[in-house]
């Protein structure tokens, strides 16, 4: 059965590619072919075959020619995860970083999860954290760090740019530029990612689509489903129907 895990500002999906339509993510995503290589494309002329790919935030992507199961690891653009993973790529381009040096490590660990599921999650999570934290620390502006704490503390609040800038004691334009420089994602899209993550975790705990949507600050279940599909290429209800409920 497909599996969905979430911890901190990271999320992991293991299962079939699910025929994802072309989409953009507000965060970086590592795609790994657990059984075979796959093709990732950005337009009708640009195709790349690989076994692993790191897709930067806000990059249009379309996975094709997938065979067997895939792993998708979503990482917070404000963490060191993205820099660490990018440094491990053996082929880099403007729109993707392919054939990661940690490819076999990821295949081995995610395949263990496929076999043993939640029973191995704690151990595998620790190994993934060791991998992701293995690079040199990147200094993030403390004003951005504080703003991220505010956003995560109350996903439904959707704090405005003006409010976040006021807390940081910066002009809105300067703060917006600083935030994107630090996270790789515009503030609005980052807040949307946080809210969608909160809603999905709520649904995993048993909340209905309506309850989860409203509690995360979406105007309606339709609004949540539309935003989720735009970012992840599928409806949240479809994902939840095919995944196990895991911590």
- Per-residue burial over 156-174, b if 16 or more Cβ lie within 10 Å, else e, is eebbebeebbeebebebee
Cβ proximity of 106 and 73 under 8 Å: yes
Helix (H, G, I), strand (E, B) or coil at 64: strand
Q: What's residue 137's pLDDT?
A: 46
Instruction: Show the low-confidence residues of the chain (pLDDT under 70).
Output: 8-9, 18, 42-45, 77-79, 93-94, 134-139, 184, 232-233, 241-247
Q: What's residue 226's pLDDT?
A: 87
Q: What's residue 147's pLDDT?
A: 93
CATH number, domain 3-132, options 3.30.565.10, 2.60.120.280, 1.10.730.10, 3.30.70.260: 2.60.120.280
Q: What's residue 8's pLDDT?
A: 64
Cβ proximity of 35 and 83 under 8 Å: no
Helix (H, G, I), strand (E, B) or coil at 101: coil
Give the residue among 3, 19, 212 at the shortest CA–CA distance from 113: 3
- Where does the chain hold its CATH 2.60.120.280 domain(s)? 3-132
Q: What's residue 11's pLDDT?
A: 83
Token pair 């290589």 is found at: 37
Q: What's residue 48's pLDDT?
A: 83
CA 231, CA 240: separation in Å to the nearest integer? 16
Q: What's residue 228's pLDDT?
A: 82
Q: What's residue 135's pLDDT?
A: 47
- Where does the chain hold its CATH 1.10.10.60 domain(s)? 142-242
List all residues 6 or more positions away from 138 whose beta carbon is below 8 Å from its beta carbon. 80, 83
Dihedral angle, C-alpha 146, 171, 82, 189, nearest 10 ° = 100
Q: What's residue 105's pLDDT?
A: 96
CA 40, CA 62: separation in Å to the nearest integer? 6
Q: Strand 10-16 vs strand 69-75: parallel, antiparallel, or unpaired?
A: antiparallel
Q: What's residue 136's pLDDT?
A: 46
User: pLDDT digits over 179-235, tens only?
Assistant: 988 776 788 888 888 888 889 888 888 899 999 999 999 999 999 998 887 776 677
DSSP letters, 142-186, are HHHHHHHHHHHH-GGG---HHHHHHHHTS-HHHHHHHHHHHHSS-
What dotted CATH number matches 142-242?
Answer: 1.10.10.60
């Amino acid at each position: 059965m497909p599996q969905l895990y979430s911890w901190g500002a990271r999320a992991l999906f293991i299962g079939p590619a699910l025929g994802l339509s072309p989409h953009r993510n507000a965060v970086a995503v590592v795609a790994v072919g657990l059984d075979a290589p796959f093709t990732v494309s950005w337009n009708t002329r640009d195709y790349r075959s690989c076994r692993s790919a790191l897709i930067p935030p806000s990059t249009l992507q379309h996975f094709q020619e997938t065979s067997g199961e895939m792993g998708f690891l979503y990482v917070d653009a404000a963490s060191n995860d993205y820099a660490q993973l990018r440094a491990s790529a053996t082929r880099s381009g403007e729109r993707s970083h392919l054939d990661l040096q940690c490819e076999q490590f990821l295949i081995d660990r995610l395949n263990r999860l496929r076999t043993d599921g939640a029973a191995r999650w704690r151990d595998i999570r620790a190994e993934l954290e060791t991998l992701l934290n293995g690079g040199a620390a990147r200094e993030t502006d403390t004003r951005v760090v504080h703003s991220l704490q505010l956003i995560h503390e109350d996903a439904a609040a959707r704090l405005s740019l003006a409010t976040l800038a006021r807390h940081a004691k910066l002009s809105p334009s300067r703060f917006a530029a600083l935030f994107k420089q630090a996270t790789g994602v515009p503030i609005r899209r980052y807040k949307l990612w946080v809210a969608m993550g909160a809603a999905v975790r709520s649904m995993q705990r048993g909340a209905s689509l309506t309850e989860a949507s409203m509690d995360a600050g979406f105007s309606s279940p339709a609004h949540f489903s539309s935003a989720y599909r735009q970012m992840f290429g599928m409806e949240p209800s479809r994902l939840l129907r095919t995944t196990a409920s895991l911590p």
